[in-house]
Amino acid sequence: MTERSARFALPLLQPGQAQKEVFHNEALSLVDLLLEAAVEGSPSAVPPATAEIGQCWIVAAAATGAWEGQDDSMAGWTGGGWRFLTPQPGTRVWDKVAGLWLHWNGSGWSDGGLPAAALVIAGQQVVGSRQPAIPSPSGGTTIDAEARSAVAAIIVALETHGLID
| Span 12-26, pLDDT tens digits | 667 776 777 666 677
Provide CB contacts within 8 A for 62, sequence distance 6+. 45, 71
Q: Given pLDDT bands bounded at 50, 70 and 90, which one contains residue 113?
A: confident
CA-to-CA distance for 47 and 58, rounded, in angstroms? Answer: 10
CA-to-CA distance for 69 and 64, rounded, in angstroms? Answer: 8
**Cα angle vertex 30, ends 25, 36, to 5°?**
125
pLDDT at 64 over 90: yes
Q: What is the CA radius of gyration of the chain?
A: 24
Could you tell me whether strands 56-58 and 81-85 are parallel, antiparallel, or unpaired per DSSP bridges?
unpaired
Considering only residues 115 and 26, tell me which one the structure prediction assigns the higher pLDDT.
115
Helices and strands (H and E) in the chain: how many: 2, 8
Q: Given pLDDT bands bounded at 50, 70 and 90, which one contains residue 127?
A: confident
pTM of the model: 0.67
Give me the long-range contacts of 127-132 (CB less than 8 A, separation at least 24): 127/163, 130/162, 130/163, 130/164, 130/165, 131/163, 131/164, 131/165, 132/164, 132/165
DSSP category for residue 49? S
Q: Given pLDDT bands bounded at 50, 70 and 90, which one contains residue 58?
A: very high
Q: Could you tell me what percentage of the chain is helix, strand and coil, using 3-state DSSP and rounding each to the nearest 5?
A: 20, 25, 55
Q: Given pLDDT bands bounded at 50, 70 and 90, which one contains residue 161?
A: confident
Please name every residue paired with 103 in a beta bridge, in sequence order, or none if there are none. Answer: 92
Percent of the chain beyond pLDDT 70?
86
Averaged pLDDT of the chain: 84
Task: Name, of 6-10, 35-39, 147-151, the range with top average pLDDT.
Answer: 35-39
Considering only residues 149 and 100, tell me which one the structure prediction assigns the higher pLDDT.
100
Could you tell me whether strands 100-103 and 119-121 are parallel, antiparallel, or unpaired per DSSP bridges?
unpaired
Could you tell me whether strands 74-78 and 56-58 are parallel, antiparallel, or unpaired per DSSP bridges?
antiparallel
Q: Given pLDDT bands bounded at 50, 70 and 90, which one contains residue 116?
A: confident
